[in-house]
Structure 1
Amino acid sequence: MKILYRKNLGAIIVAFLAVVFLRAPVKAEVLRMIGPEDVGGAWAQVIKRFHKRHPDIQVKYISGPWSTDERQNMYIRSFLSGDPIELVYMDVTWTAKFADAGWLMPLDRWFTLKKQEEFLPGAVEAGRYKGSIYRIPVRGDVGMLYYRKDLISKPPRTWGEFERICERYSNPPERYCIVFQGMQYEGLVCDFLEYLWGAGGEVIDPNGKVALDSPQGLEALKFMRKLIERKWAPKAVLSFQEQHSLSAFSQGKAIFMRNWPYAWTILNREDSPLRGKVGIVPFIHKEGYESVGTLGGWGLGIARGVKDPEKAWKFIEFATSAEAQKILHFRRGAVPSRKALFLDPEILKVSPHYRDLYDIVMKARTRPPHPDYPRISDTLQKHVSAVLAGVESPEEALKVMARSIEGTLRGKKENYLKRLTLDYDLKRTLKNTILFTSISVPLEFVLGLLIALLVNAQFRGRSFVRLAVLIPWALPTAVMAMSWQWMFNNPFGVINDLLVRGGFAERPLDWLSSPSGAMSAAIFADIWKTTPFVVIILLAGLQTIPQELKESISIDGAGPLRRFFHLTFPLLLPFVRVALIFRVIHAAGIFDLIWVLTKGGPADSTRTL
């Protein structure tokens, strides 16, 4: 009986385990992707619909930081770690870098020529590197010209037509002709390329040679400089990013604006003063040439080393479908990358300007596809900014840019010590760092010492004052710098408004759009931010001075100055050294404040080590 019982029990256990394992669902393949915060739940909806059709594939959307560079670094770290993020959600400028490093899988076997014809040509080319496709476009973007339909009946197509309208209708400073992205950052490169391409020029020709130092390049830079010299664009445009340009245009400060498609929706909101008064056209070009807009947008690729690339492709195929792109458009305002969607009745009902946008985006071009594009962009940023600021002539800037980009393409490997001693950028940034540190640190120390002496004294409300003094230091640097950027802004900033109203200035000052003004603004913001740090250290030192010594020197008849120099300051010296050492180290390595406030511009005037 015992033997029979054991046999039956064993059979039951085996049968139970068989049922459990046979009925257990197959584990889904997990595919990860990184993107910005999923505002509106657009990607969540796309992934939900995909899961219904492919329950064996699980896609995990990782919300990364808003910074494009930071998300790029997250992908790079995953590639180098040996555990790559499977679905690579890429900006148009990443393709060459990622493909050249061998981090991406070619997609030609899936993305056939027939399928490519369904997408915008520029968006397809942005995913190509050395003849192979590595990125499939999900959403598009393009630079274009906005104009006031209520002010001009016929928008310009050429530089000449644009100049005639500016001469006739602009009335600075009440109304300028155009606003654009003139700050020293990637947006300025996009603007410059549209002028360059519109004159028939190139940064790198089809043979891979630098073609920037050309008559076309010179014409493009001279035309951009003319916008500032003729006051067709405000000098303050050198501190403008997209949001500043949009703000100026929406307040009626300009007839034209160079910007991206997102601005149309904002300008046509119910509470917008320009609702129904704005049109869009391709960006202006030189007579005899064609308009070209700078391509933007995002696409998907597959990381090399993925276990099952077929499953990864299934998601990319769905995410780039018309169904998914409509979800991204309606929930997030994304510009589609499929041609047919620009004439889709449902989209046109919400975005009627897409009929005009289609002609613009069909002519869009991607930025120079090179693995070292960030270095190329950096070169263009600082020297185009220098031309707009009047620091360099167009001729000088072209020669320097061409030499620098040629060095980037060749990948110079000569003596690094020699390169450092002759490096133009190092000399400039070293000079800026010394200037910034030598002015900000002494001022912060003097102010910090005075405030520490003040809050160390006995008076009513001392605790509240001490707390208030620490507020600037407690605020996040990025938030603080963004606030100062708006306060220093011309013509919208409160600082200029107070100076003009108080009679201290006849007109708004170009704080952030001139080299000296930008450095002054950076120093001022740093003093406001970090003086409380000095106060904390010195106040701690003042608290250690024995009260008996203070009373003793006072009995001897010492006045305030004598007490300070013969008692307070000598005993405070150890704390002074600590404060100065920390402040010099921090000031010499300042980055976040400068980056948010000025991006290192204009003309590299605020770029530090």
Structure 2
Amino acid sequence: MKIRTTRALQCSTALAAAGLLVTACGSSGDGGAGASAGSTSFQGRGPITYVAGKDTSGVVPKVIDRWNRLHPKEKVTFIQLPTDADSQRQQMIQNAETKSDAYTVLSLDVVWTSEFAAHQWIDRLPEKQFPLRTMLKPVVETAKYRGNLYAAPASSDGGLLYYRTDLLKKAGVTRPPATWSEMTADCAKVKKLPEAKGMSCYAGQFQKYEGLTVNFAEAVNSAGGVVTDANGRPHVDTPEAKKGLDFLAGSVKDGTIPKEAVTYQEEDGRQAFQSGKLIFLRNWPYVYALAEKSKAAGKFAVAPLPGLNGPGSSSLGGHNLALSSFAKNKATALDFMKFFSSEDSAGTFLRDASLAPPYTDLYDNASLVKQYPYLPVLKQSILRAVPRPRVVQYGDVTSAIQQETYAALTGSKSSTQALKDLQNDLQHATAQ
């Protein structure tokens, strides 16, 4: 679905600063959001809401129940939004534009922080009240806007390559592929096995939604290109970007990526991998715990994403907790955010749902690594990850990426034409 955001504020020309494309909104001299945030009063106690995408793990209600037992007069109600990120973002923006107090604590995709802060939809947070020094640095940076904290890191995410260890071993493949060409060659060997009859090689998230933006950015970055530079300027009409998009579009055309994968979101790919339809799958760490409960249990492992000439780069994922500027009971909300984003809660989400924690020492804990062998791979994925465009006009940017990438995947445009058109679209979007 193509999302075009109705902007509640008219913003001036974007300024490039600190690696972000930021927009000066409002009439104050320091950019509006920063001006009002310093006077935020975290007062009021009572019931609040926690708003996030649909919980497929079943763990979120357990953590909220624990809070509710400890705080019977400050109960949290879990509001679940649709699974896809675009719909989540749209509903949160609609709530903010109407200045509704229905949403209190928001679970934001890490790339939304700049947009929500610039529009004054979320409050600036007291940085000293969160243990940021114990977290992975790339994760902390996603929670900041203009050097100030506007969200609390709750979980991180790095893309992983899931692969069938049993089939690769039987085909004589001794290690997971580090490049796209190695992956294609490994698939050819595996598909000769009787056990692999009817299987497809590889899938990611290729439906026209936020997951497609993630997979496109990973392909471009893994081919040595960038979507936007450090100043937020687009650079997609380049040879490197073309190599990345050619890999995706060419793989659909030659069957390496099954044609039905252009309809895949995260859950579609997970189910296809677990049911034995895929040899390789690009997905997030949450899949690990669920796959261990499926018929694929004991038959898979994870590796870094492959790239053009070696290991590729993941898009940096995860979710941050933000406080709606229009919410009530902000003292309760702040305490709940500390509780939900604590290292203890992060450990629960890791153990029960394979969610990537923001805390460094959880990746280095020997007992956890023994129990969750994917942690070292995941840590490196996060540390090497590249953020999606951190721009205020993110809705327009991701919509353009989805539109042009999908056109190339489905064959309605060549990669060359799609990237030329995308460059023009992104230049227009980021100049607003």
TM-score normalised according to structure 2 size: 0.77
* CA deviation vs aligned residue, 1:170-218 (integer Å, no higher than 9, x gap): 4597333212222222222211111111122111111221111111111
User: 2:151, 2:320 within 8 Å by CA — same for their partners in 1?
Assistant: yes
User: 2:287, 2:354 within 8 Å by CA — same for their partners in 1?
Assistant: no
User: 1:50, 1:318 within 8 Å by CA — same for their partners in 2?
Assistant: no
Residue matched to 2:10: none
Moved more, 172-181 or 123-132: 172-181
User: 1:281, 1:360 within 8 Å by CA — same for their partners in 2?
Assistant: no
Residue matched to 1:94: 112
Cα distance between partner residues in 2 of 1:70 and 1:389: 23
2:143 matches 1:127? yes
Change in 2 beyond 3 A, CA 1:77/1:165: closer
Residue matched to 1:313: 334
159, 180, 185: which one pairs with 2:204?
180
Q: Percent identity?
A: 26
Normalized per residue, the structure richer in helix is 1
Alignment of 1:71-110 (within 5 A): 71-82=88-99, 84=101, 85-107=103-125, 109-110=127-128
Cα distance between partner residues in 2 of 1:70 and 1:254: 28
Change in 2 beyond 3 A, CA 1:221/1:302: same
> 1:347 deviation in Å?
4.7
150, 153, 164: which one pairs with 1:137?
153
> 1:410 deviation in Å?
1.5
Cα distance between partner residues in 2 of 1:194 and 1:201: 10
Residue matched to 2:301: 279
> 1:154 deviation in Å?
0.6
Change in 2 beyond 3 A, CA 1:79/1:377: closer
Moved more, 237-246 or 64-73: 64-73
Tell me the secondary structure at the aligned position of residue 419 of structure 2.
helix
Residue matched to 2:407: 386
Residue matched to 2:221: 197
User: 1:148, 1:255 within 8 Å by CA — same for their partners in 2?
Assistant: yes
Moved more, 122-131 or 308-317: 308-317
Change in 2 beyond 3 A, CA 1:87/1:294: same
Residue matched to 1:483: none
Q: Which runs of 5+ in 1 are unaligned?
A: 1-26, 412-609
* CA deviation vs aligned residue, 1:60-95 (integer Å, no higher than 9, x gap): 234233345555455445434445444333222321
Change in 2 beyond 3 A, CA 1:121/1:352: same
Cα distance between partner residues in 2 of 1:196 and 1:305: 38
> 1:220 deviation in Å?
0.5
Normalized per residue, the structure richer in strand is 2
Residue matched to 1:66: 82
Cα distance between partner residues in 2 of 1:331 and 1:252: 24
2:252 matches 1:228? yes
Counterpart residue identity of residue 131, structure 1: G
> Which protein has greater RCO, CA pairs closer than 8 Å, 6+ apart?
2
Cα distance between partner residues in 1 of 2:70 and 2:180: 48
Cα distance between partner residues in 1 of 2:100 and 2:263: 41
2:242 matches 1:213? no
2:16 matches 1:33? no
Tell me the secondary structure at the aligned position of residue 335 of structure 1.
coil
Cα distance between partner residues in 1 of 2:127 and 2:139: 18
Counterpart residue identity of residue 232, structure 2: G
Count of equivalent residues: 376
> 1:304 deviation in Å?
3.5
Counterpart residue identity of residue 404, structure 2: H
Cα distance between partner residues in 2 of 1:329 and 1:45: 18
* CA deviation vs aligned residue, 1:85-121 (integer Å, no higher than 9, x gap): 4433322232122111012222364267xx4332233
> 1:319 deviation in Å?
2.0
Tell me the secondary structure at the aligned position of residue 201 of structure 1.
coil
Tell me the secondary structure at the aligned position of residue 386 of structure 1.
helix
Tell me the secondary structure at the aligned position of residue 202 of structure 2.
strand
Residue matched to 2:3: none
> 1:283 deviation in Å?
0.5
Change in 2 beyond 3 A, CA 1:60/1:158: same
> 1:44 deviation in Å?
2.0
* CA deviation vs aligned residue, 1:233-283 (integer Å, no higher than 9, x gap): 2223222333332333334333211112222223222x51x3212110111
User: 1:283, 1:293 within 8 Å by CA — same for their partners in 2?
Assistant: yes
User: 2:52, 2:106 within 8 Å by CA — same for their partners in 1?
Assistant: no
Cα distance between partner residues in 2 of 1:244 and 1:307: 38
